[in-house]
Chains A and B, each alone.
Chain A
Amino acid sequence: MRHWIARQRYLIDFTLASLARRKTKNIGLVLVFSLLVFALASVTLLTSALRQEAARVLAQSPEVLLQRMVAGRHDLIPPGYIERIGRIRGVQQVEGRLWGYYYDPVVKANYTFQVAATVPPPAGRIVVGPGLARFRGVQAGNVLSFRSYSGKLFTFTVDAVLPAESELVSADLVLLNEADFRAFFDYPAGHFTDIALSVANPQEVRTVATKLAAALPDSRPILRDEVLRTYQSIFDWREGIALALLSAAILAFAILAWDKASGLSAEERREIGILKAIGWETGDVIRMKLWEGTLVSLGAFLLGYLAAYVHVFHFSATLFAPVLKGWAVLYPSFTLLPAIDGLQIATLLFFTVFPYAVAVLVPIWRAAITDPDAVMRG
């Protein structure tokens, strides 16, 4: 064993000394390689953290949501629906939700207006999300005016700002009481936006939903499982144009790496001849090159991954913000609970180290099996 380690150390000595000869080129290669791993690992870490966040935070969201459809569009729930649902067996609690969107022309941002059913603010007062508060520069006690869709100007006093740590779910919220909501949007009395219901037995959610669909043919039930599944596939890494662009970068790098690793220069070829002539076995040459590939790619992986970890969890994925923000004016600032998907990291490790090592090996194999007397023949 000690003998084996001593041999491997010699091979590493040699391969590092060879790499050091073209220092700038090889350091550049490792850096570009790390940058690529950094981008991929950042996406992986961010998405798995967001997925886990959604799963945890939305675990308590309503078990079934019922929307009404008119001519293929989401429409208001007319009076009487809630009573009809209450009669379906298995339904524990029914609650009409009131919410809607408001476009604020002042800052060109979209807000979500919602009636806080459990703790409604007093009349004329609102509770706003931390993102909105930051964006409009308001705090508790300030006054906010919105011109409603009917053209009337409404003035609300900010009662409170939701806590900053809740920004990921509440950035754009405006919470108000039912009367204010109906007045602001001219919402017809007795109508609701959709219906949230809870089911006594979690096993029966699907049965209840099927019954709902039969009893109210113009409605569409949305199950919590489906919502959670939606968030499981959020930022699916195979999708997204940003990642498509990234894959182009990967491909470009693959070509570069392949060219660098597989294009054996005349000098390297000569060196392998020398090594073989002075007593290195073919296996020694291949092991030496394997070390080169492993050290370069493993080093790049570790550097890239560490940078990505710090980027996503200590700097809140700052570099991705412009990409994620997109058209949105109001973008939440949030810190995520680190969630590292071991399998994804292992996959990333494999796809960084393995192809590079192979790219290094292929030409070496051909060169290493050439006859050792080639150096003498010059």
Chain B
Amino acid sequence: MRYAGRPSALAAWVFAVLIALFLASFADAGRLGQKRSGEQAARAELAARLRLTDLALFTEARYTRHPSLADLHSAAQDHPLSLEHFPSGSLLPPPAHLRNHASLDRETTVPD
């Protein structure tokens, strides 16, 4: 390291630090995961005890508060494709089971 002032030496240091931090972020993720797993277990326990079905992220509309229970049929206001609750309504895609209801979807059966 007689000529540590070379730009490449400087770059090597900068990148060594950045890459070390990058790897450290994974280690830190593991550490935080361990530290916070208790909190998560508490959430899971509460959800199981209260039969909760959804995360309480967006409380402004029925379909954003309980996306899993959104209506299949009502068209305008509560339809999961209605995006009027910006921006959460635009961040939340329509629930998968409404887009692909498979055998449970009676819409496909022909009426007598």
Contacts and interface: CB of A to CB of B under 8 A. Distances in A.
Q: Find out whether A and B make contact in their complex, taking CB atoms under 8 A apart as touching.
A: yes
Interface of A: 9-10, 12-13, 16-17, 20, 50, 53-54, 56-62, 65, 67, 69, 72-74, 95, 97, 101, 109-112, 114, 116-119, 129, 131, 162-163, 165-173, 175, 194, 196, 206, 209-210, 213, 217, 220-223, 226-227, 229-236, 239-242, 295, 298-299, 302-303, 305-306, 309, 313, 323-332, 335-340
Contacts of B65: 101, 110, 112, 172
B57 to A, nearest CB: 7
B106 to A, nearest CB: 7
Contact of A326 (B21, B68, B88): B88
A240 B53 contact: no
Nearest to B66: A112
B33 A338 contact: yes
A60 B44 contact: yes
Given A168-B43, A338-B32, A226 B58 contact: no
A285 to B, nearest CB: 17
A369 B43 CA distance: 63
Contacts of A114: 50
A226 B96 CA distance: 7
Contact of A72 (B14, B74, B87): B74
A12 B68 contact: no
A213 B72 CA distance: 14
A172 to B, nearest CB: 5
B73 A235 contact: no
Contact of A12 (B7, B40, B55): B7
Interface in B24-55: 25-26, 28-30, 32-33, 36-40, 42-44, 46-55
A337 B31 CA distance: 10
Contact of A242 (B53, B73, B91): B91
Given A169-B47, A209-B104, A309-B25, A337 B40 contact: yes
Given A73-B71, A337-B32, A109 B59 contact: yes
Nearest to A67: B69
B56 A112 contact: yes
A196 B39 contact: no
Contacts of A209: 104
20 contacts: A12-B11, A13-B6, A53-B55, A56-B40, A58-B47, A73-B71, A95-B51, A101-B62, A111-B59, A162-B46, A220-B72, A227-B68, A229-B97, A231-B67, A235-B91, A239-B93, A240-B91, A242-B87, A328-B88, A340-B29
A327 B14 contact: no
Contacts of A313: 28-29, 32
A309 to B, nearest CB: 5
Contacts of A206: 103
B87 A241 contact: yes
A137 to B, nearest CB: 18
B109 to A, nearest CB: 10
A172 B50 CA distance: 14
Contacts of B10: 16
Nearest to A242: B87
Contacts of B54: 58, 169, 227
Contact of A16 (B11, B43, B88): B11
Contact of A230 (B14, B51, B56, B95): B95
B13 interface: no
A69 B78 CA distance: 14
Contact of B85 (A116, A327, A337): A327
A339 B96 CA distance: 22
Contacts of B68: 65, 222, 226-227, 230-231
A37 to B, nearest CB: 12
Contact of B7 (A20, A194, A222): A20
Interface in B12-27: 14-15, 18-19, 21-22, 25-26
A13 B7 contact: yes
Contact of B43 (A57, A220, A328, A330): A57
Contacts of B57: 50, 168, 324, 332
A58 B104 contact: no
A236 B36 contact: no
A244 to B, nearest CB: 8
A73 B73 contact: yes
